[in-house]
Amino acid sequence: MFMKTRLSSLFAAVLFSLTTATAFVAAPQATAADAASATASAPAAAPAAEAAAPAAAPTDVAAPAVAKETVDNPYGLDALWKGGDFVARSTLIIMAIMSMGSWYILITKFVDQLKMSGQAKDAKTKFWKAASVQAGVTSLKEGSPFRFIAETATKATDHHEGALLEQIDLNSWVTMSIQRAVDKVQSRLQDGLAFLATVGSTAPFVGLFGTVWGIYNALTAIGVAGQASIDKVAGPVGEALIMTAIGLGVAVPAVLGYNFLVRRNKTAMEDVRAFSADLHSVVLSGAMSKASGAASIKKVG
């Protein structure tokens, strides 16, 4: 009995050892199988990832910018000219003539004033260093206002011998002759200034007239069409307001140019008057010396 119990215990221990060894051996085999299956699945997953990568790549590329749609402005100066009637076009032509005339006068008068400034310097350096008045006259350039005044003064002394002119004393005659020459020079300097003043004072009103006329035609067309939406009102009224802007653009340069030329004319006339005053004294003293010499010769004779 004891022997049977001992054999049963030994058989149970052996069975337990075999079971444990089997489990221990099976575990590494399972681990190896799992690793093999993972290794086998990795190459299969890699192509899938590579296939998915190109599919996801286009999402990273920025979408091309959408070009903005440009809308042509149907309004403006070109539309105003094409859609305007003869009154609107005539107003535009008048303001264009005003602008061109103003700029022409402004440029030409400024050039004349520069020339006159150089001629004044020549008169100071050449005329007063000459041996005589006649030599000083020939030293000045043709067309110079200083030469014109000097020639007028010398001619006044030569033509004072007439029967009627002898009744006027020489001083008064020379003074009047030189003053007339100075007045002609001043009148020539002021040529065109009246046009600038006229343009500066009337151009805004001409532009305003064009605006009123354009708004009248626009409102009439809107009333006939029966549509008073913002696109029907803003365009024609905006075109009409261009007239006022053009009028101001014509008037402002004319006013500024007028004031600029008047100020420079004042400076130029100061040089002319100073020259004429000195010339008057020189010519009169020379004429007096000639008259006294002629009288002494008559007495000796």
What is the predicted pLDDT for the residue at 72? Answer: 58
Categorize the per-residue pLDDT at 65 as very low, low, confident or very high, splitting at 50, 70 and 90: low
Q: Angle at which helices 86-125 and 230-300 pack, to 10 degrees?
A: 30
Residue 235 pLDDT exceeds 70: no
What is the predicted pLDDT for the residue at 247? Answer: 92
What is the predicted pLDDT for the residue at 23? Answer: 44
What is the predicted pLDDT for the residue at 296? Answer: 45
State the average pLDDT over residues 261-284: 90
What is the predicted pLDDT for the residue at 300? Answer: 45
> Which residues are CB-contacts of 103 (< 8 A; sequence separation ≥ 6)?
253
Categorize the per-residue pLDDT at 294 as very low, low, confident or very high, splitting at 50, 70 and 90: very low
Q: Which two tokens stand for residue 287?
A: 């004429």
**H or E segment at 76?**
none
* CA 52, chain centre distance (Å): 62
Categorize the per-residue pLDDT at 75 as very low, low, confident or very high, splitting at 50, 70 and 90: low
Q: ∠ CA(150), CA(155), CA(160), 5° rounding? A: 135
Domain ranges for the chain, please list them: 9-40, 77-288
What is the predicted pLDDT for the residue at 162? Answer: 56
What is the predicted pLDDT for the residue at 46? Answer: 45
Residue 292 pLDDT exceeds 80: no
Instruction: Pick the more confident residue, 58 or 283.
Output: 283
Q: Are 137 and 151 in contact (CB under 8 A)?
A: yes
Instruction: Pick the more confident residue, 116 or 169.
Output: 116
Q: Are 139 and 269 in contact (CB under 8 A)?
A: no
State the average pLDDT over residues 22-47: 43
State the average pLDDT over residues 215-243: 72
What letter does residue 85 receive in the DSSP assignment? -
What is the predicted pLDDT for the residue at 198? Answer: 94
Residue 299 pLDDT exceeds 70: no
State the average pLDDT over residues 5-26: 48
Categorize the per-residue pLDDT at 236 as very low, low, confident or very high, splitting at 50, 70 and 90: low
CA distance 155 to 132: 14
Q: Which of 26-40, 111-125, 128-142, 180-194 has the lowest mean pLDDT?
A: 26-40
Categorize the per-residue pLDDT at 45 as very low, low, confident or very high, splitting at 50, 70 and 90: very low
Q: Give me the chain's average pLDDT, please.
A: 73
Sequence length of the chain is 301
Q: Which two tokens stand for residue 208?
A: 């305003």
Instruction: Pick the more confident residue, 100 or 285.
Output: 100
State the average pLDDT over residues 259-270: 92
Residue 283 pLDDT exceeds 90: no
The burial class, CB within 10 Å (0-12 / 13-18 / 19+), for 72 is exposed
Q: Are 292 and 170 in contact (CB under 8 A)?
A: no
State the average pLDDT over residues 17-26: 45
Residue 150 pLDDT exceeds 80: yes
| pTM of the predicted structure, to 2 decimals | 0.65
